[in-house]
Structure 1
């Protein structure tokens, strides 16, 4: 009887000694922390040095071109100056605020005009927010001044 009691005690000790309570490993904690710190990706809004003054001559159906200067400020304010070349050549000014789209790549000025923000350049977009196409598409771009 002593042998069987000893055997049962030994088996009980052996089975409980080999099983450890489940605890999160250091690896699991590190993976959770890494997942929490993954950025959502770079966007024009958060990765580019977009504040500044952009210039260019945009196409015009009834004049030689529209000399355009668009200044974007870090607090989402803008100033747009336009001169219709070969016409009156008065300076038309619009100032206000602009909004970023959900992807952080396009802006919409308070006057409704839209631009895709690129590295040191802005691409004028159509009313639906698409890049302009056709023969003159490459002319709907403003370059950053003083890069």
Structure 2
């Protein structure tokens, strides 16, 4: 489509070449505006990545060795979440299942849980657990809040 507009613009300039320079510049500028306005990037995590699958990681824990998290995101927008407190054999793993929704940008998902939503940013073969403001957790422990996609 861009090439067609460009070729049309060149043909129009050639046909009106005998007229004054001012009109030539105006036609080129109008065609450039059309070409620029048609460039829209609709790529996001939801429609560009192979996001469905199982993600795993161990996040920090204040009173245990860590929390092993296993998150499964399914193509039908359902999820399964398991959180196991490592070093605490008497504590039962927490398990949740339900539906998730994408945010408007198509880059974050919200797990609908019994308590409050849990947010993740979806990337290439990994998801980031987000803080209460839906931002990536920064700092010394930043990498510990990334769950990697399982290849099994």
Asked which structure has the greater CA Rg, the reply is 1
RMSD: 2.3
Secondary structure (helix, strand or coil) at the match of 1:69 reads strand
Query: Separation in 2 of the partners of 1:75 and 1:39?
Result: 27
TM-score under structure 1 length normalisation: 0.73
1:96 has 2:128 as partner: no
Which residue is 2:135 aligned to? 130
Alignment of 1:1-147 (within 5 A): 27=8, 40-87=41-88, 88-111=90-113, 112-146=117-151
Unaligned segments of structure 1, at least 5 residues: 1-25
TM-score between both structures, scaled by the size of structure 2: 0.70
- Whole-Å separation in 1 of the counterparts to 2:63 and 2:106: 34
The CA deviation string for residues 1-41 of structure 1, in whole angstroms up to 9 with x for no partner, is xxxxxxxxxxxxxxxxxxxxxxxxx948xx9xx89986542
1:58/1:38 CA distance change after superposition, 3 Å: same
- Count the aligned residue pairs: 119
